[in-house]
Each structure stands twice: as structure tokens, then as C-alpha cells.
Amino acid sequence: MKLQKTIPIWMMRQAGRYQASYQAIRRSHTFEEILHNPAVAAEVTLNPIREFGFDAAIIFSDILMVAEALGQQLTYIEGKGPLLAPALMAEPSWQFQPQDFQVESLNCVYDAIRQAKLGLGETPLIGFCGGPFTVACYMLQGHSGLDMRKIRSWIREFPEKFEQLLDVITEASILHMVAQVKAGADLLQLFESSAGQMSAYEFSLYGAPYLKKIIDAVRAQTSVKIALFCLGIGHVRNQVLALSPDVVGVDWMQDIGGFSHDLPSNFVIQGNLDPLDLFLPVEKLGLSVSRILDCVGKRPGFIFNLGHGVLPGTPESHVKAVVESVHAYK
Ligand code: CP3
């Protein structure tokens, strides 16, 4: 791995619609085709490294691939987002068993990792999966724009069924994460993007125990570092620290200086530029970057990232400007 003289930077959703190169590939391939085509997925993974000089690549895939491997049909509707069918909330008779997940059904992801590694040289590659709660919410509703009132009401009505679903997703995620490392992933990230949609108590029931199971099992089988990103980490921060991820993702809503002050130095912090700030005029954007660096730039291991994913329509020149100013920081 590269010896880092500057602060490392990568961005969640660094491969995606804001890039002209991605838009060009999407004119000839659907989203699902890219997910299932290792050569194209590897190309899409490499483009942000070539174009912006990020210090890590993240494999182009989706957290919903695990839902697909469990038997739901994944399609991407233009302008609407991903669709998983049948939606489990509308199918009261569903039953999943851990053996429903065959890790080989995600071979396209592992092949994409192998191919991406060939083009990355020293740049590390991040593998990932979704947090079980987040994946389960998409599986229940079947499409994006989660109606959490409806989903949380369903969970209250069928808590045992929900736990059974979380168990199955957790077992599948462990196999998927370990297989990504075997294929060449150098680091792993868990995306619990719906963490902020749960109460702290719900997180203690449906978030933390399953994330812990994944972290512990992956640690027992591999030696790679694990980052945990919870969107809306504020109210569950102590529960997250108790899971002892190597890297703690800080979302854009949080005061990263306060986080750094409270976190023991064995935790590496990653974050937390507001994705909307990338739309600011470059000078103001620079101030947002400096504000973060002034707080945590000297913290050992600090990794610069966004506080959530890059938004479509983000000016590419602004992404480049952020990478350059983070690398120029002394
Ligand atoms: O560059 C990268 O970060 C790697 C690729 C990646 C994608 N999705 C590609 C993608 C990663 C890490 C994800 C994670 C993901 N997917 C999450 C967790 C992180 C987060 O953003 O909260 C979630 C909740 C999903 C599920 C998902 N996939 C949604 C809700 C959507 C629709 C919203 C959107 O941004 O369009 C997707 C589609 C998706 N996943 C796209 C990409 C590039 C857009 C597809 C396209 O239009 O071509």
C-alpha cells in the first residue's frame, strides 16, 4: 500500500452520474448491465482515480446486490431509482433461509474487483456492503424513497420476521465481504445509510448487533481494516464506537471537531464535507474544506471524504479542486 505523505481522500459515490465519463458509459449500458459486467464495472471503478487522483477506489457495485442474490429481482428505473421485486411488505408469505444465499451468485463483483486491481497499481481498493437494517428496509419497501413510518410500523407488527430477515442478510453480507477480500479488496466499508431513521433504542436492537456480527466475523477471517459509515451517527455514536470499527465515518450533519475531541485516537475518522458544498463557488467550497482540515487535519490517520455520496450534477472541476486542496494541506 502507498505510503501516505498527504491526507488521503476518496468520496462516497465517487463513480457515478456527475461524471461525463459515467454518463457516456450509461448511454450504451444500463445500470444493471454495469453491475453484472466485470470489465465495465472495473472501468467505472478506475475512472475517478484517473480523473481526480483519489487515493482509494471503491468497487462499482451496489448494496442491493445482496438482495438480488437472495432472490429479489433488481431493476433500475430511470429517474426513480432501484426497484426490488417482489417488495417483502407486500408478500406476507416470504421466507428466507441463510442457505438461499450462494456467494457464487455475486461472482461478477469478485471478478470486477480482480480486474479493477490490475489497473490500480498501489492505489487501494475498497469493497463494501450495506448495513443489514438499510438493506432490509429496501427489501421490505422494494424501492427508494423509504417511508420509514410505514417500515417501522411493519417492524413493530412483525419483529420476529424482521429479525429473521436481518439474520439472513447478515450471514450473506459476511460471505460477501470475505469474498471481496479474497478477490483483492484492501479495505472494507459498511454503509448503514438508514441509521439516522431509527431511534437509539431501535439501533440497539436492529443496527448494532448485526453490524457487530459482520465486523467480528470478517475480522476473524481477514486482516483488512473495516470502516463503518452510519448516516445520522449523532445519536448512536457510542453504540457505533462499541462495535470498534477501524474507521468511523462521520456524516455531513455532525460537528467533526467535536467528534474528534471525543473519540480515542485508536479510531480513524473519515468525513465529512457536505455533498451540497460541492455546488458552492470554489472559494466558498475551499472554506468548507479548510474548516474540516483545521479541526481534524492533524489527527493521525484522518481520511477526507464527504459526509454522504456525491450528488448528480456536482461540477467535476469542484471535485478536482477539493482533491487538490486536501493534498496541498500541510
Ligand atoms: O462510487 C461508489 O461509491 C461505488 C458505488 C456505489 C453505488 N451505490 C452505485 C450506484 C455504492 C457504494 C452504492 C451504495 C448504496 N446503494 C447505498 C449506500 C450509500 C448511500 O448512498 O446511502 C444505497 C442506499 C444504495 C441503494 C441505491 N442505489 C439507491 C437508493 C440508488 C438510487 C439513488 C441514486 O443515487 O440514484 C442506487 C443507484 C445507484 N447506485 C447509482 C449508482 C452510481 C445511480 C445509477 C445510475 O443512475 O446510473
pLDDT (tens digit, 9 = 90+) per residue, 196-223?
Answer: 999 999 999 999 999 999 999 999 999 9
The CA 264 to ligand 1 mean position distance, Å, reads 31
Q: Is the pLDDT of residue 2 over 50?
A: no
Q: Is the pTM of this model over 0.85?
A: yes
- Structural domain contains residue 217: yes
- Structural domain contains residue 42: yes
The CA 17 to ligand 1 mean position distance, Å, reads 10
Answer whether 110's CB lies under 8 Å from 183's CB: yes
Answer whether 154's CB lies under 8 Å from 91's CB: no
In this prediction, residues 39-57 reach a mean pLDDT of: 98
- Structural domain contains residue 2: no
How far CA 296 is from CA of 174, 189, 273, 289, 329, in Å, comes to 32, 21, 12, 11, 11
How far CA 141 is from CA of 55, 276, 291, in Å, comes to 36, 27, 38
State if residue 191 touches ligand 1 by the CB under 6 angstroms criterion: yes
Q: Is the pLDDT of residue 315 over 80?
A: yes
Q: Is 237 one of the annotated active-site residues of the chain?
A: no
Roughly how many angstroms between the first and final C-alpha of the chain, as a whole number? 21
CB hemisphere CA count around 228 (13 angstroms): 31
Q: Which CATH number is 167's domain given?
A: 3.20.20.210
Domain enclosing residue 40, as ranges: 20-328
Q: Is 17 one of the annotated active-site residues of the chain?
A: yes
Q: Give me the catalytic one of 18, 22, 55, 62.
A: 62
Q: What is the pLDDT of residue 99?
A: 83
In this prediction, residues 259-267 reach a mean pLDDT of: 95
Structural domains of the chain, count? 1
- Structural domain contains residue 231: yes
Q: Is 114 one of the annotated active-site residues of the chain?
A: no
Q: What is the pLDDT of residue 107?
A: 98
d(CA 57, CA 49): 7
Classify residue 106 by its DSSP letter: G
Q: Is the pLDDT of residue 119 over 60?
A: yes
Q: Is the pLDDT of residue 76 over 90?
A: yes
- Structural domain contains residue 6: no
Q: Range with the lowest mean pLDDT among 60-69, 95-104, 238-247, 252-261?
A: 95-104
State if residue 52 touches ligand 1 by the CB under 6 angstroms criterion: no
The CA 63 to ligand 1 mean position distance, Å, reads 8
**List of residues 6+ apart from 199 with CB closer than 8 A:** 235
- Structural domain contains residue 247: yes
